Structure 1
Amino acid sequence: PTEGLPVRVSVNREDYDVGTVAYDKTNTSIVIAGIALGIIAALVVGASLALIVMKHLKAKKQANIENRLSTVLSRARVGSHLNSSPTDDYRRGFHSGQTSGSGATTFQGLLYSASYDHLAAPLMPGETVSMVSLNTDLLEEVNEVLIPAEMLRIEENQIIGKGHFGTVYHGFLIDSMKQETHCAVKSLNRITDLGEVDQFLREGIIMKGFHHPNILSLLGIMLPKEGLPLVVM
């Protein structure tokens, strides 16, 4: 009852009324509020820890990818017949009339290769490849970094380097103010199936978030209506 319950104490067979005991609703509210706050605090701490762990794992994964690529590129530069300087950027090596050879600089971008013998596999001509035949999800990712053809000028006589499947050229990105930015344009000239085009594009997309002194970051991708894509760095 709201008025409380009577309390009686017996001493030597004599009963004494000492008062009443009432239910304190205030303390109950405090206990409930404390429990609720404790649960909320635990959820916040748990979510924060999960977020920190996820960020750490993502950063570790990205660092591992960049370290592996840096190792591959370092080995490639050591075995290259082109002269290069560890302190030089590929943009400083661009001179009018320069072609591939002893005066060219080494391209420090991604090296593309397949897992089997390229020379033994039959090649597909680039003009037979249409971009609409590529993976839909991949095209959606590429769409975020697409560069219109009119914004890219390639110096086809200025070669930075060559590989099994493509050539890297000097080029220029042209913005809306007609300002030109020097860049490297990676092409894919030799393929045996469309899966290699997918891999070539995915490697370019991976470079979008790179911030490493030995690896160029992605500036964009140009998809021609016919032929093979170009990765701009």
Structure 2
Amino acid sequence: MLNFTWSSCQEVAAFIAKGGVLMLPILGISVASVAIFLDRVWQYRRAHCPIERVYEEIDRLAAERRFEEATAVCERYRQAIVPGALCCVLRNRHRSHEEIEKAVSHVGSLALQRLSQHVRLLGIFGSIAPLLGLLGTVFGMVKTFMNIAELHGNVNPSLLAGGIWEALLTTAAGLTVAIPTVLMYHYCERNVDEFAFHIKHYSLELIETLSRHD
């Protein structure tokens, strides 16, 4: 098992070496992208809660004017995003609708900013990786044709083919990294958009409940 692992590592190292120096930043992008994605998934899990069930309980208590108990429910899920916004609504219930919405918007913006942290980097990485791969291929092709020129055209076709496929390695590596990175970026964006929708939707619903039972 140990020999197999060592030989696999050697094969990967040889593969990267054949691709040239630009394989290193592509490899770095892949590692950074996975690290960011796993961190964001962990944050989304922490920010999530069974919002429909939680909101029904908060809405019922608010309708009965049991505001302290409703706030306590929000505090119970204080790590989640939406209950934090609902707690802001309850604490500002004596203010006007415009002031409550402004306060919720501020709290929600801060929460969404935390959830969006580093997400833009995934989009940048997804765009840069294939370009680095293409650049590496261009460099490889230039090197191959320079070698052909030095040999005055007396080139073995197999040698030419070997130089071309090695040049194409960086393009393949760049696309291999870029495709899952773009998918991870859109997954994170969708989660942030979903949290933003829930914050707005349930906050307005709770404000409406408070206005009906004022």
Q: TM-score, normalised on structure 2?
A: 0.29
Instruction: Pick the structure with more helix per residue.
Output: 2
Q: TM-score, normalised on structure 1?
A: 0.27
